[in-house]
Amino acid sequence: MEGSYGISSRDYLERARKCLDNGQVAPLFYAAFELRCGIEARMAEYLEVQEHISKKKRQGWQIAKLARNIEDAFRLGDKQAILKVRDKQTKEIIYEFVYTPVTSSLRKKGEQLGDILHSAKKYHSVENAYWSKLRQKLEETYTELQVATSGKLLGPLLMHPKKKTMDMKVELPSAELQKIMESLINQEFLLEVKYE
């Protein structure tokens, strides 16, 4: 049996790229599936780590419902949240974390992919312009999902209402990043937060 089938948003994105690079018509349907799943997965990744959101709202697969739950939790719309960690003395940036949302444009494209994932109602020959238009639509969706999965911050910095503490959910994909975070423990540093 071949390797494992990863289910992170970046796993779906990577498989979509392979399907798009294939150059054939049939893999376009698989690319559409992988992109749709990647969009859902990224939205779920943002929700599943937010403890202040009910378990019910952290589950599901419908893009519109996931989007409402994310908006209820973050109230950012399509804005990115940029968090810069600076050395208190030198003001140098130690690390920059970015929350890259699944934008309304990407959500719309993801919902439209659902139309492709059903049996075809009309035959299109390989030479038909339908396929180049579909490929272009998938490439645009891929590019937007690539941006949405580029950030390491799984939501904006949130203030815990009772504890008066800040809550920051970050992906730690590398030993280097873990080392940076460990170096910040018990250290004074400055946080700069910006929304764009």
Structure confidence at residue 60 (pLDDT): 75
Please report which helix (H) or strand (E) contains residue 108, including its range: helix 104-116
Predicted structure pTM score:
0.89
SS3 category, 37 = helix
Question: Hey, how many other C-beta atoms are within 10 angstroms of the C-beta on 93?
Answer: 12
DSSP assigned state of 196: -
Could you tell me the mean pLDDT of each successive run of 10 residues in the chain, 196 residues long? 84 97 94 97 92 72 90 92 90 91 97 88 91 96 98 84 73 75 80 90
Single-letter residue type at 30: Y
C-alpha to C-alpha distances, 182 to 43, 97, 154, 155, 169, nearest whole angstrom: 27, 15, 19, 21, 15
Nearest 5 degrees, angle CA 153-CA 40-CA 101? 35
Report the largest interatomic distance among the alpha carbons of the chain, rounded to a whole angstrom: 66
Please report which helix (H) or strand (E) contains residue 190, including its range: strand 189-195
SS3 category, 187 = coil
The answer to whether the CB of 33 falls within 8 A of the CB of 41 is no
Structure confidence at residue 27 (pLDDT): 96
Structure confidence at residue 25 (pLDDT): 93
- Please classify residue 3 by burial: count the beta carbons closer than 10 Å to its beta carbon, then call 0-12 exposed, 13-18 middle and 19+ buried: exposed
